[in-house]
């Protein structure tokens, strides 16, 4: 007879599978953990596991599954006043939309997430989201907006790599030319 795992054990097993690159198997464990947390009445942990499942499915190439997995979780975090996880859920939803090539919708969701991260002064997550916004702006032919978004992303980071410092100098050039810096 197989031993019944606790929700936390299911989540930990999912994390191990994810780190080892077994994304579909990780997604299954996160789904089990989400259901188990829901049965215990822990809606926040359940929603967090749904978001973990979404990330794993996206890594496995299932963008629609990723979108379905995290749909509505941002509302759960919003009701709980958990702005950080609300922003992460919105960013996960945006990433799934991007995976489905629904670029305008993805851009809108990334912008919502960036605003939430700014609100709570979460520079690291805001920088990640701003870089995603910049990438989408390039893909949707908004090069100048993309430069501004990447500049903002680099401004949010505490330490820049050599490559990022060089990029920052390159990005600053057009802004200096038009008198914005």
Average pLDDT over residues 137-164: 82
Burial class (CB in 10 A: 0-12, 13-18, 19+), 105: middle
The Cα 74–Cα 114 span in angstroms is 14
Q: What is the pLDDT of residues 82-130, one digit of tens each?
A: 999 999 999 999 999 999 999 999 999 999 999 999 999 999 999 999 9
Query: For residue 161, how many other CB atoms are within 10 A of its CB?
Result: 9
Q: Which of 22-36, 62-76, 104-118, 158-172 has the lowest mean pLDDT?
A: 158-172
CA atoms 31, 36, 37, 38: torsion sign = positive
From 171, 159, 148, 92, select the one nearest 124 (Cα to Cα): 159
- Look at residue 170 and tell me whether its pLDDT is greater than 50: yes
From 61, 124, 38, select the one nearest 88 (Cα to Cα): 124
* Residues 61 and 45 sit within 8 Å (Cβ to Cβ): no
Average pLDDT over residues 141-155: 80
Residue 18 CB-half CA count within 13 A: 20
The Cα 11–Cα 23 span in angstroms is 13
* Residues 117 and 126 sit within 8 Å (Cβ to Cβ): yes
* Residues 152 and 130 sit within 8 Å (Cβ to Cβ): yes
Q: Which residue has the tokens 């200096």?
A: 176
The Cα 169–Cα 162 span in angstroms is 11
């Amino acid at each position: 007879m197989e031993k019944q795992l606790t929700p936390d054990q299911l989540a930990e097993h999912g994390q191990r599978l994810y780190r080892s690159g077994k994304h579909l198997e990780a997604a299954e464990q996160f789904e089990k953990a989400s259901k188990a947390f829901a049965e215990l009445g822990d809606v926040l942990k359940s929603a967090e596991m749904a978001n973990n499942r979404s990330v794993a499915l996206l890594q496995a190439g299932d963008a629609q599954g990723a979108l379905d997995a995290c749909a509505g979780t941002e509302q759960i975090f919003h009701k709980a006043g958990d702005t950080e996880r609300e922003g992460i859920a919105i960013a996960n939803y945006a990433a799934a939309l991007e995976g489905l090539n629904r670029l305008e919708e993805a851009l809108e969701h990334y912008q919502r997430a960036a605003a939430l991260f700014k609100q709570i002064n979460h520079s690291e997550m805001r920088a990640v989201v701003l870089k995603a916004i910049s990438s989408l702006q390039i893909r949707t032919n908004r090069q100048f907006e993309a430069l501004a978004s990447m500049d903002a992303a680099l401004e949010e980071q505490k330490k820049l790599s050599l490559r990022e410092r060089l990029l920052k100098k390159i990005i600053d050039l057009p802004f200096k030319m038009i008198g914005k810096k």
